[in-house]
Structure 1
Amino acid sequence: MSIARNAGILMHVTSLPSPFGVGDVGPAARTFLRFLHKSHQRYWQLLPIHPVIATAGYSPYSPVSVMAGNTLLISPEMLAEEGLLDAGQLPAYYLPVQAQADFSTAVTIKNALLREAYQHFTTGSFPQLKKEYDVYLQKQQYWLEAYTCFMLLQQQHKGLPWHQWPSADRTPVPQLFSRVLTAHRQEADRLRWEQFIFDYQWRQLRKDARKLGVHLIGDIPFYPGYHSADVWAAQSLFKVDAQGKLKGVAGVPPDYFNAEGQHWGMPVYDWDAMKAQQYKWWISRIRRCLEWYDSMRLDHFRAFSAYWEIPGKDTSAVNGRWQPGPGAALFEAWQQHLGTLPFIAEDLGEIDAEVYQLRDRYQLPGMHVLQFAFGKDMATSTHIPHHHRANAVVYTGTHDNNTTRGWFLQDTAKTDRMRLTQYIGKRVFEKSVHLVLGRMAYASVAQTVILPIQDVLGLAEDARMNIPAKATGNWTWRLLPEQLTEAVISRLKYWVLLYDRKQR
């Protein structure tokens, strides 16, 4: 992160108002980049951009692969610009741009268009694109072959989790790769090509962002999903047994809000095995993400210090135990192989001194969230502005929080609202609370302020992106084109200048 004071906005790509059911990296993304530039925003913070599946509620935090890109984010318009699709045919696939994403329909539309584009690629003359494709295949082979084989087997087994596959397909050995990739050669080539096109379009997005002075902040889920190419291809690095069944499960312990804790359903890492391989898996993962982002938020940062491990057969988190994470050894490995550590530490939740020590040892910015600041511990809270750190990022809320208006109406007690009133010295109202907390965030000594786009626009609870305890109905909120008004741009520019957050 830059040491200068700056500002940004949090919004996922899927929330863009693209006309194919879900946001993508096409024209709507360029419109949003211009909005960020006009309003003097330096950062666009994203949620994870990996492949998602219906059985996980399309959650970006339960990825099918932490190395692959989400092909739903591929833009048909950009494919047409390359001559891979007929632009005149695209309107036939348009859906009404609504405030909720339609993932299932988008999957059908994008799959059909990608198949057509791939057919044009294989039969047409695209010398430069084919040259770049060959380079991509060589560079990404270290993860791409396992991912492709996994996806083919998933299709063959009709979406069954890999640990329920026949034993011959559960273990990724060279003979299996050869058999599957040879038997399904054309489909394998198409899957590889789709990943190439994702990267090709993402590079264009990042290039356009840089031209406008906008930096992309990615998000690194701590764990891959259980049913993922990552776990299947590297079972020895995760707590699964010889049959692929869970031995140790990720989650968080019981607390005041949840007597059962949280059981996330994915395996924890075998950190001894990771260490024996000198953290090669994690080094490759971050190196891959550096191809997409300028900096990254490390989700569930506390688990790098110590993580909650639940016995594999348990269905709640109650009987879990704290286990030591990799700590400084992993960060030293990253530093040795990758150089600088462009990370934001998501240091929220049950945090102890060891977590802060790890964060500060590598001078990583942490997080302050204003919605957490007005409880009974307001005077001493790390989230209240008078206790903010300069080396930090301040938010009104995150993707896991309610919108600030929703928070004020639904999630605060009368005493919380009273403390907010006492803190700012005047009464706060629901229709303006997003402006109050937005100004408070901009005024903070924290070097970076990032506001969720919903709070920039002052949207209510129905614009919330995620409710962590809710299994379905998350991740669907979308921006409408008419919401990015000149008045919004003017207000953000004013705050940037007033609180000395303009890029220099």
Structure 2
Amino acid sequence: MRKSGILMHISSLPSEFGIGKLGDSAYMFANFLRDCGVQVWQILPLSPTSYGDSPYQSFSVHAGNPYFIDFQRLEKQGYLAPPDYEDIVWGEDPRRVDYARIYNYCFHVLRTAFSRFRKEDKAYLEFCEAQKYWLPDYALFMALKDAHDGKPWYQWEKPLAMREPKALEKAKETYAEQISFYTVLQFWFYQQWGQLKAYCNQNGISIVGDIPIYVAYDSVDVWVNPELFLLDKTRTPIDVAGCPPDVFSPTGQLWGNPLYDWKYHQKTGFAWWIQRLKSASTLYNTVRIDHFRGFESFYAIPYGKKTAEVGEWRKGPGMALFQAVKEALGDLSIIAEDLGFVTPEVRKLLEDSGYPGMKVLQFAFDDDPKSTYLPQNYTTTNCVAYTGTHDNMTLRGWIHGSPAKTIAFAKRYLHCRSANDLPAAILRLTWSSTANLAVAQMQDFLDAGPEGRMNTPSTTGGNWQYRTLTSDFNPRLAKRIYQLNELFNRLPEESLQKPVSKKRQKAAAKAAAKAAAGTKPMEKKEKKS
């Protein structure tokens, strides 16, 4: 079935609190998507952000971002009152997230709500029991970070950094209240997210979530499971992740994430990855896996190098991982981010997995009619066509920042006299393609310029800040997107476009919250090497 989607992260939703929340504006956007005939809402990772504010560098693969917890919903539950938050200035520009202010004030408000929370709440206790395979470690990790002024775990005193049992037990006693605080925040996040996801699903909208292949060095995942990564005896990375030099980046990309010890993962039957994908599949309807090519082979850079110029390619787990996932979890709905340096071996892995890959139209106009990104050269409908991703410039910005040769080819290909006509033409081309799913950033439908760019890879500062206004989502735009879906046969079945009754919405929200609370951990199994 042909579908369409819009890519916009929760942080970009309209909000009076400086950043998008899981409140009324999120439900408003879901209604907007339904009115557009759009069936997919794609978001970025929901994880807590750390230094640099990137959702791809998080403290945990399981936790949700407390910034997204909606104050007004907590108010309805009796945990907050308007005076607790209404006089706070969350930022000066309604189009940008001011992360410094969010960090300073958001947790202050949430601590006020926490002071009124009853920890004997039945739903809360059930949630804690269901999430015990990760939640206690995460809450302790965050409490210890606070106690160490935000320093990474590998700079803590050795007994805590190396997780000596006596040091951990003492920390649990010393920071019990702070541990409870971070635990309650996750309960509220999962509760609100479960309700929103249920509302979307009942209105015919599925959620495409995103997980990065690697985890941050300063994360609870590395702190608790050092054996899963290529670390030395002091738990310092031996090699780190990145990409080799190319025409776009002469010194390559140095990401700095610790690499996986794939031999160890294979011995455990890939238990950690299975649990990670199980959790992600509870949060989302479909999971996009970032840097899919890293499962075929990955680039290893010696730790301590300043650039990615020195490194080597090493073999990844390949199909062994995805076969183990299928045996444990069945057929999951997964999208493979297969961009970048793609070899025949990577294409073979994608084909063997059966996952749809990605076709980014901004990459199609390099003056080569044989480009695999041009719709005429798609070899399968089992793919996702994008105008651009969160790492791309907006279409309007792209026409002003691309080489003249690229724009000339695009104009010739799309039969446009003016470059100003290209953004609308590329949207139509994406929707007209044979790809089962066509996706555009919300910024492209809003015709945003460079100010709408979400992220510029390999840069710091100014990223992940884009926000929308309520006035952006007007009936005129909804009609335009609906007509695009209608023209290119991407409308949902009529029954799915009908508004869902409030009774069904509440029932679905309750069921989703219960399901989120009931996520069970995978049992670890050891295979003989």
TM-score (normalised: structure 2): 0.90
Question: What count of residue pairs does the alignment treat as equivalent?
Answer: 491
- 2:112 alignment counterpart: 116
- 1:137 alignment counterpart: 128
Question: What amino acid does structure 1 have at the position aligned with 2:106?
Answer: K
- 1:38 alignment counterpart: 35
Deviates more, 1:284-293 or 1:400-409: 284-293
- 2:419 alignment counterpart: 429
SS at match of 2:254: strand
- 1:383 alignment counterpart: 373
- 2:271 alignment counterpart: 280
- 2:355 alignment counterpart: 364
Alpha-carbon shift at residue 87 of structure 1 (Å): 4.1
Q: Is the 8 Å Cα contact of residues 37 and 492 (structure 2) preserved in structure 1?
A: yes
Say whether 1:442 aligns with 2:438: no
- Where do 1:182-261 residues align within 5 Å? 182-261=173-252
Question: What amino acid does structure 1 have at the position aligned with 2:439?
Answer: I
Structure 2 CA distance for aligned equivalents of residues 29 and 93 of structure 1: 21
SS at match of 2:265: helix
Q: Is the 8 Å Cα contact of residues 11 and 46 (structure 1) preserved in structure 2?
A: yes
Say whether 1:102 aligns with 2:98: yes
SS at match of 1:380: coil
Question: What amino acid does structure 2 have at the position aligned with 1:117?
Answer: A
- 1:82 alignment counterpart: 77
Q: Is the 8 Å Cα contact of residues 21 and 102 (structure 1) preserved in structure 2?
A: yes
Structure 1 CA distance for aligned equivalents of residues 492 and 66 of structure 2: 33
SS at match of 2:255: strand
SS at match of 1:8: strand
Alpha-carbon shift at residue 482 of structure 1 (Å): 1.1
- Where do 1:459-498 residues align within 5 Å? 459-498=448-487
Q: Is the 8 Å Cα contact of residues 146 and 177 (structure 1) preserved in structure 2?
A: no
CA 1:428/1:363 → structure 2, altered by over 3 Å: closer, same or farther? farther
SS at match of 1:383: coil
Question: What amino acid does structure 2 have at the position aligned with 1:343?
Answer: I
Structure 2 CA distance for aligned equivalents of residues 300 and 10 of structure 1: 18
Say whether 1:326 aligns with 2:317: yes
Q: Is the 8 Å Cα contact of residues 345 and 359 (structure 1) preserved in structure 2?
A: yes
Say whether 1:156 aligns with 2:152: no
Structure 1 CA distance for aligned equivalents of residues 285 and 83 of structure 2: 35
Deviates more, 1:262-271 or 1:418-427: 418-427
Structure 1 CA distance for aligned equivalents of residues 84 and 271 of structure 2: 45
Alpha-carbon shift at residue 108 of structure 1 (Å): 2.4
- 2:60 alignment counterpart: 65
Question: What amino acid does structure 2 have at the position aligned with 1:114?
Answer: L
SS at match of 1:122: coil
Alpha-carbon shift at residue 304 of structure 1 (Å): 0.8
SS at match of 1:77: helix
Higher relative CO (Cα under 8 Å, sequence separation at least 6) belongs to 2
Alpha-carbon shift at residue 216 of structure 1 (Å): 0.6
Question: What amino acid does structure 2 have at the position aligned with 1:450?
Answer: V
Q: Is the 8 Å Cα contact of residues 219 and 299 (structure 1) preserved in structure 2?
A: yes
Alpha-carbon shift at residue 244 of structure 1 (Å): 2.4
Alpha-carbon shift at residue 173 of structure 1 (Å): 4.4
Structure 1 CA distance for aligned equivalents of residues 57 and 158 of structure 2: 24
Alpha-carbon shift at residue 336 of structure 1 (Å): 1.1
- 2:16 alignment counterpart: 19
Structure 1 CA distance for aligned equivalents of residues 322 and 413 of structure 2: 39
Q: Is the 8 Å Cα contact of residues 17 and 478 (structure 1) preserved in structure 2?
A: yes
Q: Is the 8 Å Cα contact of residues 301 and 308 (structure 2) preserved in structure 1?
A: yes
Question: What amino acid does structure 2 have at the position aligned with 1:86?
Answer: A
Alpha-carbon shift at residue 166 of structure 1 (Å): 1.5
Match for 1:305 among 291, 296, 314? 296
Structure 2 CA distance for aligned equivalents of residues 442 and 350 of structure 1: 26
- Where do 1:340-419 residues align within 5 Å? 340-376=331-367, 378-388=368-378, 389-410=380-401, 412-419=402-409
Alpha-carbon shift at residue 89 of structure 1 (Å): 4.6
Alignment gaps of 5+ in structure 2? 494-529
Q: Is the 8 Å Cα contact of residues 57 and 473 (structure 1) preserved in structure 2?
A: no
Alignment gaps of 5+ in structure 1? none
Q: Is the 8 Å Cα contact of residues 17 and 97 (structure 1) preserved in structure 2?
A: no
Structure 2 CA distance for aligned equivalents of residues 461 and 281 of structure 1: 39
CA 1:323/1:11 → structure 2, altered by over 3 Å: closer, same or farther? same
Structure 2 CA distance for aligned equivalents of residues 46 and 426 of structure 1: 31
